[in-house]
Amino acid sequence: MTWDHASVMNALDNMTVNMQASGTAIGMGLTKALARLKDSEAESRIVILITDGVNNTGEIDPIAAARMAAALGIKVYPIGVGTGGMVPFPYADPFFGTRNIPTLIELDMQTLDRIAEITNTGRAANATDAAGLRNIMQELDALERTEISTRMNYLWHDHFALMLALALLLLLIEIIARSFLLPLIPE
C-alpha cells in the first residue's frame, strides 16, 4: 500500500510472528487488503499477494475475495512462493542446532492462477528462491507505476523526563548533604 520501502522495512523489523498460528487465510488477508484500498483515489490500485496458495483457514474463500477485488476494480498479482513437494526446511533443534529436515510443502498455483484470471492480471508468478521473487517484484514495479507523494508521521515517546527528575533529585540531595551534613561529620 506504499512505495515507501523504508517504512515497509521498518514495519517488517518490528513485526512479530505468531508461531502458534496453524493456517493460512488467503481470502481473509486479501479481503483485508481490499478494505484498505476500496476508498483509495489512486490511479492504479493493486494487491501483491505472496503466498503458497494453500488456503486452510478463514471465513472467506480466496476465489470469493478475488471476485470482490474484480468488482472493486482492484488488480491482484499473486506470487506463489516455493516449489512444492519435499524440501529441506530449517528446524531449530535444541541439542544439535539448526538443521534441515525434509518437509512436505504444498503449493497451490491453480488457485493463484484463478485469482489472477478473475482480477485480469494474467497468470500467477512463481518464485522458487529470493532472487526469483526479487525479479518478479521488479517486473511488477515496471508494470504498475503511479506517482504519489507521501508524508511520514512518527510517533515519539520521550522517556528522559523520569531520568532528568531522578538526576535533579540526586543533585538536590548532594547539595543538602554538602551544606548541612558534611559540616557535622568530624574529620
> The domain that contains 116 carries what CATH number?
3.40.50.410
Average pLDDT, the chain: 83
For residue 155, is it within any domain? no
Number of separate domains in the chain: 1
For residue 187, is it within any domain? no
Average pLDDT score over residue span 39-60 = 85
C-alpha distance across the termini of the chain, in Å: 73
Q: pTM for this one?
A: 0.63
For residue 154, is it within any domain? no
For residue 168, is it within any domain? no
For residue 52, is it within any domain? yes
Domain that holds residue 129: 5-143
Determine which of 17-26, 113-122, 172-181 has the lowest per-residue pLDDT on average: 17-26
